[in-house]
Chains A and B, each alone.
Chain A
Amino acid sequence: MKIKVVESVLKANDAVARENRRRFEAAGVLAVNLMSAPGSGKTALLERTLAGLGPDVRSAVVVGDLQTTRDAERLQNTAQQVVQINTGTGCHLTATQVAEALESLELAGLHYLFIENVGNMVCPAGFDLGEHVRVALLSTPEGDDKVAKYPTLFLCADVILLTKTDLVAVLDYRRERVYEDISRINPRAPVMELSCRTGEGVDRWLSWLKDERRRRTREVTTG
């Protein structure tokens, strides 16, 4: 007997993601999903961001890696709460893994929850975690051709950060190529250049993030 189903294969993940989002919104937390290749500077960005947001802003971090608790240890002193998820062989985080991590987090009183996804330019983009904002990072040493090579990561991004700009001087890096590729894929996403080493450009990112939180939490309270 053949039957018609027409149902999303990832409906279970999406249902958990919706529940995560509901919990974030109930607590007034902006959830931010950071995605990039390994080594693009996600953890360095978090260190800068947490320090830049200042002591009055309370943030938690969920960090996904295949192995080790090194990122969690790096962030221990700057974030109020840190949970490390080790995915073993899993190349992306799922909504269920984030929901499990929430069991050991106190959401009440938090302003931001940063989710540092597993370093990978393909798989994380396909899995909703319940975040409000998707951040795609691309570091200059990765090359100026990666937007065209891995378009889906940039297509789903709400903001694109070009990191490690302090290294441009020693690279054959054509900025205009990156901007041109983005304009063909996702012209709505703001593109920001920054260096976590020198701090250049970090302020612009921080003010975008704060605006986003103000805008989204207002939407939640009025909606």
Chain B
Amino acid sequence: MHEMAIATALVEQLTCIARENNASRITTAEVHCGILRQVVPEALELAFAAASADTPAAGAVLTIVEQPIVARCRSCQQTFQAAVDNFLCPVCQTADVELLAGQDIILQTVTLETPDERTS
């Protein structure tokens, strides 16, 4: 259940962003999860709901977008989409590759609500 650790880090990040922007609440957050991170979206949503209670991110709508694994073959430089259990280059059939995407968890966007917006 590494989703709880990820959710806790996300809530800290969101709380920080809310403070920096003088926002009272965060209403949406979009997170891109590389498939290699093995994040179960439902588990992350549950963990996020628990971790965000009593923070500016409480009640925020979390959108999780899974990001495919992209690799580049070290011998022929071919860029291709790999599977979690198969990094074989479709051209050379070797798995000596460099990972270009699929291993990061990135907070892409957030929607902030400022005190002014609420009253207007």
Contact = CB atoms under 8 A, between A and B. Distances in A.
Contact of B21 (A3, A181, A183): A3
A148 B111 contact: no
A2 interface: yes
A16 to B, nearest CB: 11
Contact of B112 (A3, A13, A127, A185): A3
B50 interface: no
Contacts of B13: 7, 9, 11-12
A183 B106 CA distance: 29
Interface in A37-60: none
B contact residues, range: 35 or more
A5 B107 contact: yes
Contact of B106 (A6, A92, A122, A126): A6
Contacts of A184: 85-88, 95
A185 B21 CA distance: 43
Q: In terms of DSSP, what is the predominant structure of the interface of chain A?
A: mixed
User: Among the interface residues A94, A184, A188, which one has the most CB atoms of the partner chain B within 10 A?
Assistant: A184
Interface residues of A, number: 32
Interface string B24-48: 0000100100001110000000000
Contacts of A4: 108-109
A10 B108 CA distance: 13
A184 B109 CA distance: 35
Contacts of B106: 6-9
A152 B5 contact: no
B6 interface: yes
Contact of A183 (B5, B10, B95, B114): B95
A3 B86 contact: no
Interface in B98-113: 104-113
Contacts of B105: 8-10
Interface of B: 1-2, 5-6, 9-10, 12-13, 17, 21, 23, 28, 31, 36-38, 84-88, 94-96, 104-114, 117
Task: Report, nearest first, the 7 A-B pairs whose CB atoms are least far apart.
Answer: A123-B2, A9-B105, A151-B85, A2-B111, A5-B107, A1-B112, A9-B10
